[in-house]
Amino acid sequence: MRLVKVRSHEEMSEFAARHILDKVKSNSKVSLGLATGGTPVRTYELLIEDYRKNHTSYEHVFTYNLDEYAGIAADHPNSYRYFMFEHLFNHINIPNENVHIPRGTASDIKKEAKRYEKLIDSIGGVDLQILGIGENGHIGFNEPGTPFDTRTHIVELTESTRQANSRYFDEYSEVPKHAITMGIATILKSKEILLLASGEQKADAIYRMFEGAVSNDCPASVLRTHQNVIVIADEKAVSKLEKVRIG
């Protein structure tokens, strides 16, 4: 696992956008695993800026999102589908049929999880997976305790995750209790993983990911078993790590 320490959220976003653009330019049919949350928003903005300026084409790019809330309609402003179109897809030339996001309102959600897993299997895992990290070390919506061999599945969100995500909702009670997410084994199938972390609220999770045991108490720690992971983290996110290393 390679750690790239950067000074700020902006530098983290610039590094991530450059990395994604390199992939898209060297392989026009690249498959990208994408994440939602506040962390990658600026990265997506930079991709849009590049698209407007340099016309980098996404015509043949395929995307696979990590997760989606269960029970929220696709066109609801809090759905991850809505988020992705709002923050990226509406502003670049990716065809709608190349975009894949789990369907949180599927009538048989377990069947939907199986369908999504099969889809990712059919491409042999994504070429590049972008990840954020939860304050409790979750990746996607794989909360602490999730076995490492889990495939795309339905999860019950922890109180900590619901609290952290409630900032996007009018009321805490509106935050869904369940979600559908790529499993840890699904994420590990990615050929390359780029994890982004910014801010001191992520410092604990980053510390545990690097210095703690590889254990499902901190789902992100499993990334230490993958051959090709880059973590881009700003000063605040690595603050606990540095203390340990210096001391």
- The residues that touch ligand GLP, with contacts defined as CB under 6 A, are 35-39, 66-67, 132-134, 140-141, 161, 165
Say how far apart CA 181 and CA 56 lie, in whole Å.
29
Nearer to ligand GLP, 1 or 56 (CB): 1
Strands (E), the chain: 2-6, 31-34, 62-65, 67-69, 99-100, 128-131, 153-156, 178-181, 192-197, 229-234
Q: Whose CB is nearest to ligand GLP?
A: 132
Out of 9, 19, 65, 67, the active site residue is 67
Of the residues 68, 127, 143, 234, only one is catalytic, namely 143
Tell me the β-bridge partners of 5: 233
Identify which of residues 97 and 192 has a Cβ nearer to ligand GLP in the complex. 192
- Smallest CA-to-CA distance from 66 within 135, 128, 156, 136 is with 128
Closest CA relative to residue 66, chosen from 26, 40, 102, 31 = 102
- Look up 67 and say whether it is catalytic: yes
User: Considering beta carbons, is residue 38 or 57 the nearer one to ligand GLP?
Assistant: 38
59/159 with CB nearer ligand GLP: 159
Q: What are the start-end ranges of the H helices in 123-198?
A: 159-165, 184-188
Closest separation between CB of residue 148 and ligand GLP, Å? 17
Q: Is 55 a catalytic residue?
A: no
Closer residue to ligand GLP, CB minimum distance, 39 or 186: 39
Which 3 state secondary structure label does DSSP give 214?
coil
CB 231 within 8 A of CB 1: yes
Residues forming a β-bridge with 100: 64
Residue 109 token pair: 């959600």
Give the shortest CB-53-to-ligand GLP separation in angstroms: 26
And the tokens for 10?
A: 């902006």
Which one from 138, 142, 165, 234 is the annotated catalytic residue? 138
Q: Given the residues 100, 112, 127, 136, select the one marked as catalytic.
A: 136
**Gyration radius from the chain CA atoms:** 17
Q: Whole-number minimum distance, CB 108 to ligand GLP, in Å? A: 22
Active site includes 138?
yes
CA distance linking residue 87 with residue 74, whole number of Å? 15
In the complex, least distance from residue 38 CB atom to ligand GLP, rounded to whole angstroms: 4
Min dist CB 25 to ligand GLP, Å, is: 26
Active site residues: 67, 136, 138, 143
